């Protein structure tokens, strides 16, 4: 029995640290439950946003214009046919089928004005926009000679100009395509192979046309999230302006010119056709060079309308620091025990850890109704006051309580700054942890841990420790 007591005395610090580690593992359970609540609330937010955008209009992609001209071509095959002598002989049969030849414009230009706005569904909100675009393009008369198609086989009267637009619910008015000097109505229906939604207009006068044929389309539509274009021309120019101050330019090409101010942005793209993986003209059988959803998506460029990192994302990032900050608070309490001859019960550690976990739940619930900064201040302030009130009795010292209050203030201030530094949060966090480790090393460098364990538990009474 004496040996066991001696062993426990020699390993008291190790058991204390092991108990703290076990308690930290237990506190990961409520942190995990809070993370589950966060995911559930985030899912409800996403459902609300999807509900808003489904009735307003989804992210819009403008793919086109594409000039589609049908043509006849012969298909030769061999068939078995009975002869007059009763034998079966193979006979060559020629059948005629209709295929499409597709042509992209020489130049493609867009001039647009986008007006974002915020729509609400309950406590949730989504960023949507109204867009007004003017699309202009120039087509050359289709050259069927390079495709080895005779002019007599071309069905000029059935030619159409087609666009692929993923969500036509965002288009609120009748669209009119100006083809040369004539106005043609755009009809719903996808004429581009592989695309499920689009519009097209029947065009004429191609057989008699000479030189360039201009095309113009004024497009007014609703959308959400972002707007992008496919570089269908040999030369592509897109100019967009918007009062949105926080754009995200994405896709295969970035703007050649941009101007971003608190009042909005202006951006210009100048893109050639060398950055895409589809040809300027193709026929249906040539699938490898055709414009299809995969090649179109790979060449898209445009802008997304972001709201920055939202409250749910901030809370999620904050929870990731939870175990680390619990360790720092427990380490401070442990140093009080070592350096100040103070005894703190594991239950007292657990209550402080529970208050720390409750901070994240309060932050999540408040951030759904008020700005994240105010929610963070309220949750951090309430938690700090609660732990300070408890430590004033547990630590038996106003000085120690002030140290804990200062530590909590530093922790919450550090976390808030790290959450705001989207690009530099990792660097800032690493520097902060290095500083904390340096402080711990400085405070514990003179402790003889073996001698401390031999001395046994501190015997000072609370009255002797009170200042």
- Residue 129: which of 113, 144, 142 has the closest Cα? 113
Q: Helix or strand or coil: residue 17? A: helix
How far apart (Å, rounded) are the C-alpha atoms in residues 118 and 121?
10
Structural domain 61-305, CATH architecture: Sandwich (2.60)
Q: Which residues contact 313 (CB under 8 A, 6 or more apart)?
A: none
User: What share of the chain has pLDDT > 70, as a percent?
Assistant: 87
Which percentage of the chain shows pLDDT scores above 90?
Answer: 32
Give the burial string for 167-177 (b: 16+ CB within 10 Å, else e).
bbbbbeeebeb
Q: Which residues contact 270 (CB under 8 A, 6 or more apart)?
A: 235, 236, 237, 256
CA gap 226, 267 in Å, rounded: 14
Q: What is the mean pLDDT of residues 251-280?
A: 93
> Do residues 292 and 193 lie in contact, with contact meaning Cβ atoms separated by under 8 Å?
yes
Q: What are phi and psi of 328, to 5 degrees?
A: -65, -45
Burial letters for 279-302: b for 16+ Cβ neighbours within 10 Å, e otherwise? bbbbbbeeeeebbbbebbeebbbb
Interval 86-142: pLDDT, tens? 677 776 666 778 889 999 999 999 999 999 988 888 778 888 899 999 999 999 888
**β-sheet bridge partners, residue 223:** 129
Identify whether the C-beta of residue 166 lies closer than 8 Å to the C-beta of residue 296: no
Per mean pLDDT, which range of 5-9, 77-81, 354-358 is the poorest? 5-9
Calpha distance 100→154 (Å, rounded) = 10
Min mean pLDDT across 176-185, 310-319, 376-385, 451-460 is at 451-460
CA distance 119 to 114: 16
- Mean pLDDT value across residues 190-209: 86
Give 94's strand partners. Answer: 76
pLDDT in tens, 412-434: 888 888 887 766 777 777 787 78
Domain residue spans of the chain: 9-47+311-465, 61-305
Element spanning 43, H or E: helix 12-56
Structural element, H or E, at residue 127: strand 124-140
Question: Could you tell me if 103 and 280 are in contact, meaning their C-beta atoms sit under 8 angstroms apart?
Answer: yes
For the stretch 451-466, pLDDT in tens is 655 665 544 444 434 4
Helix (H, G, I), strand (E, B) or coil at 66: strand
Tell me the C-alpha distance between 15 and 242, whole Å. Answer: 62
Cβ neighbours of residue 108 closer than 8 Å, sequence gap 6 or more? 65, 135, 136, 137, 231, 232, 233, 235, 236, 237
Q: Which of 80-89, 175-184, 310-319 has the highest mean pLDDT?
A: 175-184
Question: In whole angstroms, what is the distance from residue 464 CA to residue 2 CA?
Answer: 30
């Amino acid at each position: 029995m004496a040996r066991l007591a001696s062993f426990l005395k020699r390993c008291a610090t190790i058991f204390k640290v092991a108990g703290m580690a076990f308690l930290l593992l237990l506190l990961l359970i409520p942190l995990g439950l809070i993370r589950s609540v966060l995911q559930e609330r985030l899912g409800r937010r996403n459902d609300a946003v999807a509900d808003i955008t489904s009735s307003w209009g989804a992210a819009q992609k403008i793919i086109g214009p594409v000039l589609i001209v049908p043509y006849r071509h012969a298909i030769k095959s061999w068939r078995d046919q009975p002869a007059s002598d009763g034998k079966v002989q193979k006979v060559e049969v020629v059948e005629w089928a209709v295929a499409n030849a597709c042509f992209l414009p020489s130049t493609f230009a867009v001039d647009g004005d986008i007006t974002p706005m915020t729509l609400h569904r309950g406590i949730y909100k989504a960023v949507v926009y109204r867009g007004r675009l003017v699309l202009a393009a120039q087509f050359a008369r289709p050259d069927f000679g390079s495709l080895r198609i005779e002019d007599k086989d071309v069905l000029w009267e059935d030619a159409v100009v087609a666009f692929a637009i993923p969500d036509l619910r965002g288009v609120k008015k009748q669209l009119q395509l100006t083809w040369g000097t004539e106005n043609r109505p755009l009809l719903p229906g996808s004429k581009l192979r592989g695309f499920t939604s689009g519009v097209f207009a029947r065009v004429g006068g191609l057989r008699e046309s000479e030189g360039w044929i201009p095309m113009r389309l004024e497009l007014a539509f609703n959308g959400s999230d972002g707007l992008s274009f496919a570089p269908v021309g040999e030369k592509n120019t897109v100019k967009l302006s918007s009062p949105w101050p926080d754009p995200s330019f994405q896709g295969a090409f970035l703007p050649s010119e941009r101007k971003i101010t608190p009042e909005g942005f202006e951006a210009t793209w100048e893109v050639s056709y060398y950055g895409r993986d589809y040809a300027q003209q193709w026929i249906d059988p040539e699938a490898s060079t055709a414009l299809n959803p995969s090649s179109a998506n790979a060449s898209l460029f445009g802008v997304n309308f972001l709201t920055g990192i939202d409250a749910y994302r901030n809370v999620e990032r904050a929870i990731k620091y939870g175990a680390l900050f619990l360790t720092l608070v427990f380490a401070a309490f442990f140093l009080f025990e070592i350096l100040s001859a103070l005894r703190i019960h594991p239950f007292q550690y657990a209550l402080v850890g529970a208050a720390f976990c409750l901070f994240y739940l309060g932050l999540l619930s408040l951030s759904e109704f008020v700005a994240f900064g105010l929610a963070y201040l309220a949750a951090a302030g309430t938690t700090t006051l609660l732990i300070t009130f408890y430590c004033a009795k547990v630590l038996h010292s106003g000085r120690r309580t002030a140290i804990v209050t200062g530590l909590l203030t530093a922790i919450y201030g550090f976390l808030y700054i790290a959450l705001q530094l989207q690009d530099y949060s990792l660097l800032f966090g690493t520097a902060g942890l290095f500083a904390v480790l340096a402080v711990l090393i400085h405070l514990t460098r003179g402790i003889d841990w073996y001698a401390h364990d031999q001395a046994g538990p501190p015997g000072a009474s609370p009255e002797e420790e009170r200042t």
